[in-house]
């Protein structure tokens, strides 16, 4: 791209101070929280949707690719600019536009952090259900792009179950609305298509979300096990009993040790696994449900268990879980996390495979996962300065995803495809499936400029 | 699950003819592979195809003026796979909703599919998927977009396609499992759907309360939404100048009993009088009765923001006269079983704050409607997608 010409045009739209062009600044926006590295051509900070529409229209005319970016916490390269494209940065579009309690909706700008929204709603006795572990840093726009999940998905679903509408700038540069406060817009579920499309079908500039009344009561239990298998079996048995808790999360000893050193959540260092169980809802009958859960834990050989006495203790237990990814930096400076998902009953087999792969490639792997919905997060730990180790890590990651697909699962439960898992898409889709997705992309983004090279692999890349 | 031979008494064809659709030929595939062969042939010979299930929501889509092949999907019925341990099932598109729940209730400790669209004895899972159908219990359990985990189908070129899978969390590629919901057969023929199933709650009840005035009803509904109570579904129907509210509760027996008490107490503070009855079958029959039409009727569906539900209901009832009109409170969905021009015009007036699914009594009425979909979306998204996925026009128009 003719940088100066483009830079001048973008500066006319957003102001000189809101465009970055120096290499040292561009470098900061050329990677995300994963391992993929790209190169940004320019970075432009936007403040409103009109600016976004003008920028996209201009870039469309010039034939320059672009990618929307919130906090850059994406783990698979979804927000990494390729081909020296323009990064459209949303961190300054971070306002709550409306909290509409009467209609149980909140309208936000995409750059706002998930946790900021939660905190604002909590003051009014409401909450927004999707709560990814990254919520302190991840943006609502990013959550939408990746269809973010979180520990409470088991009961409440993921982002696409709670986003009801969005103002969108299409790849053509047109600005429009999909959905809104009322339900069931006629025709195909465009909102369902947009959520999880990783910014490849348009850029969201406002989001309408469903909010819910905070539950009357929450009970959080930490159960300690001498094996991951026993913790996993407990999860299966709870579900088989007809109880669907709000959350069922497991961490293994590798992660427990890192978390304790970092967060001091009170997890025992000699535990092979901890299982975090949470019930929420009406208080009536909850003690009896927790009693049944406790009996199931004991049947599966739980070493000990405790229920959080108050909100403070609950927060500490959760700080441990939410701090897991960051904590493992104590062991190795980098990690590759594979978020393959398997049917819940296949979790033991999946974990056995992960262990074998860890031994095969001589890479340590810590496990933290959303056990209730079968979403694994094996953290493959390594030093990215070691080229040989990095190579082994990538091979291990690919084998883990293949194992998940072979067990009847899929290659991504919540982190998305980005560029990292393009080849692995062929593990779960046939050629005609990919063709249909590709046709939709081509229909909506005729010039192929809207975050190109992500999500949909080229057919000729099929192994 | 035993294969059911759904006896639809030729209703789909009769309904299509009454809507002015000229049908050349009907095929009734019994297997997915047969459906695939029909589609492949249609693509090769440039024929048009219209899939039909129980025909309970056939006007949810854009009907063509003529169609070469009507695909009666009710031959494709039954359970392809039920995974009791992982709480999901793969069910063929032509299976009626009630048949599915009959099967599930007898498995293990008992399960159910929380989908309760009108006419669920006849409505098929494929048809409900294609028309984005739902009923009162979407308040607690959501709709197809919240319960469907995967979908199998045949594209316009006659190729088998599949999206999603059996896991609750799945962000591999574009979410076409969701996108195809509500597409009314215009982009892909749905042959099977993978659905979440739920353990049957231990207890269930229905509260039946009548309010004399709409003002108090509105305040009550707001109070209910602001409370910690968790109704599975709430319906409101104007009856003889008053408003009858039915509310279903499910869950632990202690919780259900408490919810009954608190609901009736809350209703009482706003002039509502009624009673609670325990029992799942009682609850189901009450909710079914609230939304099923009493005879053959064309319906329209209006959706508005929650706070506007009672006022919209009152306005539509005024226009509808004796025609059954019901609000699914908590969702802002209103069903009107009677669709003459007055009612349609009135519904259009509400459309600026929500949506109205169009009804076709006869072809002429189409021209009086405002756009169903935002014109920008139509021009830059929906039509291009239709042109790419179905360039030969095998399936009905998208709009």
pLDDT in tens, A203-213: 999 999 999 99
Using the beta-carbon criterion (under 8 Å), do A196 and B175 form an inter-chain contact? yes
CATH architecture, domain defined by A332-406: 2-Layer Sandwich (3.30)
Interstrand relation of B79-83 and B88-92 (parallel, antiparallel or unpaired): antiparallel
Is B206's pLDDT higher than 60?
Answer: yes
- Section B310-337 average pLDDT: 91
Residue B85's SS3 state is coil
Q: How many residues does chain A have?
A: 463
Are domains A217-326 and A332-406 of this chain identical in fold? yes
Which of B155, B175, B355 lies nearest to residue A192, judging by beta carbons?
A: B175
Q: How far is CA B14 from CA A55, A272, B6, B29, in A?
A: 53, 65, 16, 19
Where is pLDDT greater, at A325 or A197? Answer: A197
Q: Which CATH class is domain A96-213?
A: alpha beta
- Which class for A85: exposed (0-12), middle (13-18), buried (19 or more C-beta within 10 A)? buried
pLDDT band at B62, cuts 50/70/90? confident
B236 Cβ neighbours under 8 A, 6+ residues apart? B217, B221, B243, B244, B245, B309, B310, B313, B326, B327, B329
Length of chain B: 399
pLDDT band with cut points at 50, 70 and 90 for residue B182: very high
Q: Under a CB-based contact definition with an 8 Å cutoff, are residues A192 and B145 in contact?
A: yes
Task: Report pLDDT digits (tens) over A221-240.
Answer: 999 999 999 999 999 999 98
CA B140 from centroid of its chain's CA atoms: 15
Tell me how far apart the alpha carbons of residues B8 and A124 are, in angstroms, rounded to a whole number. Answer: 51
Which tens digit of pLDDT belongs to each residue from B235-260? 999 999 999 999 999 999 999 999 99
Whole-number pLDDT of residue B14:
75
pLDDT value at residue B398: 85
Tell me the pLDDT of chain B averaged across its residues.
Answer: 88
Q: Which range, of A20-24, A307-311, B374-378, averages the lowest pLDDT?
A: B374-378
Task: Give domain A217-326's CATH number out of 2.40.37.10, 3.40.640.10, 3.30.70.2190, 1.10.230.10.
Answer: 3.30.70.2190
> Binning pLDDT at 50, 70 and 90, where does residue B351 land?
low
| Sheet with B66-72, edge to edge strand ranges | B22-27, B66-72, B49-52
Residue B262, chain A, CB below 8 Å: the answer is: no
Q: What is the pLDDT of residue B1?
A: 54
Do A186 and B182 meet the contact criterion of CB atoms below 8 Å apart?
Answer: yes
- CATH value of A3-89 in 3.10.450.50, 2.60.40.420, 3.30.43.10, 3.30.470.30: 3.30.43.10
pLDDT at B365: 27
Q: In what order do the strands lie in the sheet with A19-20?
A: A19-20, A42-45, A86-89, A66-69
- The residue in chain B having the minimum alpha-carbon distance to the alpha carbon of residue A343 is B167
Mutate to test the interface with A, among B85, B87, B172 (most CBs of A within 10 A): B172
- Flag the least confident range among A30-44, A225-239, A326-340, B5-19: B5-19
Listed by start position, the domains of chain A span 3-89, 96-213, 217-326, 332-406, 425-461
* pLDDT range class, residue B359, cuts 50, 70, 90: very low
Over residues A227-256, mean pLDDT = 93
Q: How many CA atoms lie within 13 A of B285 on its CB side?
A: 6
Beta bridge partners of A430: none
Quick count: other Cβ atoms within 10 Å of Cβ A315? 13
Cβ–Cβ contact B146 with A under 8 A: yes
Q: What SS3 class is residue B15?
A: helix
Closest-CA distance, B370 to chain A, in angstroms, reads 13
User: What was the pLDDT predicted at A186?
Assistant: 83
Beta bridge partners of A407: none
| Residue B30 near chain A (CB below 8 Å) | no
pTM for this model (two decimals): 0.94
Q: Under 8 Å CB-to-CB from A3, ≥6 apart: which residues?
A: A21, A41, A42
The confidence score (pLDDT) of residue A227 equals: 94
B-interface mutation test, from A131, A162, A187, most B Cβ less than 10 A away: A187
Which residue among A193, A433, A443 sits closest to B161, beta carbon to beta carbon?
A: A433
């Amino acid at each position: 791209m003719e940088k100066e010409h483009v830079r001048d045009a973008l500066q006319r739209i957003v102001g000189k101070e809101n465009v970055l062009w120096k290499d040292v600044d561009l470098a900061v926006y050329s990677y995300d929280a994963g391992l993929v590295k790209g190169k940004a051509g320019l970075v432009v900070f936007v403040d409103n949707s009109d600016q976004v529409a003008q920028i996209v229209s201009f870039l469309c005319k010039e034939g320059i690719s672009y990618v929307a970016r919130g906090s850059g916490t994406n783990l698979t390269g979804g927000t990494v600019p390729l081909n020296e494209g323009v990064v459209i940065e949303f961190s300054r579009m971070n306002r709550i536009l409306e909290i509409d309690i009467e209609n149980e909706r909140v309208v936000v700008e995409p750059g706002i952090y998930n946790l900021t929204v939660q905190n604002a709603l909590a003051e009014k006795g409401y909450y927004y259900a999707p709560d990814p572990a990254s919520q302190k840093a991840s943006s609502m726009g990013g959550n939408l792009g990746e269809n973010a999940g979180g520990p409470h998905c088991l009961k409440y679903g993921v982002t696409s179950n709670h986003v009801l509408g969005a103002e969108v700038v299409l790849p053509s540069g047109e600005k429009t609305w999909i959905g809104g406060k009322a339900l069931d817009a006629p025709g195909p579920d465009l909102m369902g298509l947009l959520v999880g499309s990783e910014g490849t079908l348009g850029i969201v500039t406002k989001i309408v979300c469903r909010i819910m009344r905070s539950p009357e009561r929450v009970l959080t239990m930490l159960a300690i096990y001498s094996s991951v298998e026993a913790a996993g079996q407990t999860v299966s048995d709870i579900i088989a009993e007809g109880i669907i808790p709000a959350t069922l999360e497991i961490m293994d000893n590798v992660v427990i040790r890192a978390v304790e050193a970092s967060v001091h959540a009170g997890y025992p260092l000699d535990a092979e696994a901890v299982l975090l169980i949470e019930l929420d809802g009406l208080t009536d009958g909850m003690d009896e449900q927790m009693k049944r859960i406790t009996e199931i834990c004991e049947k599966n050989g739980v070493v000990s268990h405790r229920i959080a006495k108050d909100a403070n203790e609950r927060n500490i237990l959760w700080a441990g879980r939410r701090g897991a990814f960051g904590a493992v930096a104590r062991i190795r400076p980098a990690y590759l996390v594979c978020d393959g998902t398997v049917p819940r009953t296949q979790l033991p087999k999946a974990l056995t495979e992960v262990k074998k792969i860890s031994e095969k490639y001589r890479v340590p792997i810590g496990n933290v996962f959303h056990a209730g919905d079968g979403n694994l997060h094996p953290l493959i730990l390594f030093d990215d300065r070691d080229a040989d180790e990095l190579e082994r890590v990538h091979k291990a990651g690919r084998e883990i995803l293949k194992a998940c697909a072979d067990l009847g699962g899929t290659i991504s439960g919540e982190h998305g495809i980005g560029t990292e898992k393009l080849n692995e898409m062929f593990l779960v889709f046939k050629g005609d499936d990919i063709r249909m997705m590709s046709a939709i992309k081509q229909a909506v983004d005729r010039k192929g400029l809207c975050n190109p090279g992500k999500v949909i692999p080229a057919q000729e890349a099929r192994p | 699950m035993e294969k059911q031979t759904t006896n639809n008494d030729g209703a789909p064809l009769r309904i299509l003819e009454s809507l002015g659709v000229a049908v050349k030929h009907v095929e009734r595939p019994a297997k997915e592979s047969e459906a695939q062969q029909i589609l492949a042939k249609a693509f090769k010979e440039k024929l048009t195809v219209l899939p039909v299930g129980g025909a309970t929501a056939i006007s949810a889509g854009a009907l063509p003026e003529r169609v070469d092949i009507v695909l009666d999907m009710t031959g494709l019925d039954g359970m392809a796979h039920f995974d009791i341990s992982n709480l999901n099932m793969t069910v063929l598109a032509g299976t009626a909703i009630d048949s599915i729940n009959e099967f599930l209730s007898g498995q293990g400790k008992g399960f159910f599919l929380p989908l309760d669209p009108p006419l669920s004895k006849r409505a098929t899972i494929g048809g409900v998927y294609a028309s984005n159908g739902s009923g009162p219990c979407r308040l607690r359990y959501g709709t197809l977009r919240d319960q469907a985990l995967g979908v199998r189908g045949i594209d316009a070129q006659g190729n088998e396609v599949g999206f999603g899978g059996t896991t609750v969390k799945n962000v591999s590629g574009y979410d076409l499992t969701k996108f195809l919901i509500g597409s009314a057969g215009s982009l892909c023929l749905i042959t099977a759907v993978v659905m979440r199933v739920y353990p049957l709650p231990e207890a269930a009840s229905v509260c039946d309360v009548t309010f004399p005035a709409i003002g108090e009803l509105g305040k009550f509904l707001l109070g209910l939404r602001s409370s910690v109570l968790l109704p599975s579904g709430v319906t409101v129907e104007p009856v003889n100048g008053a408003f009858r509210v039915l509310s279903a509760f499910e869950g632990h027996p202690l919780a259900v009993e408490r919810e009954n008490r608190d609901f009736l107490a809350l209703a009482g503070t706003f002039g509502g009088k009624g009673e609670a009855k325990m029992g799942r079958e009682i609850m189901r029959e009450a909710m079914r009765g609230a939304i099923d039409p009493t005879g053959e009727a064309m319906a329209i569906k209006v959706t508005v923001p929650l706070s506007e539900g009672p006022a919209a209901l009152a306005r539509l009832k005024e226009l509808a006269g004796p025609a059954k009109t019901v609000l699914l409170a908590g969702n802002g969905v209103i069903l009107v079983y009677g669709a003459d021009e007055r009612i349609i015009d009135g519904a259009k007036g509400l459309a600026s704050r929500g949506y109205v699914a169009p009804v076709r009594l006869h072809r002429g009425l189409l021209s009086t409607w405002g756009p169903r979909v935002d014109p920008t979306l139509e021009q830059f998204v929906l039509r291009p997608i239709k042109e790419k996925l179905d360039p030969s026009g095998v399936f009905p128009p998208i709009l």
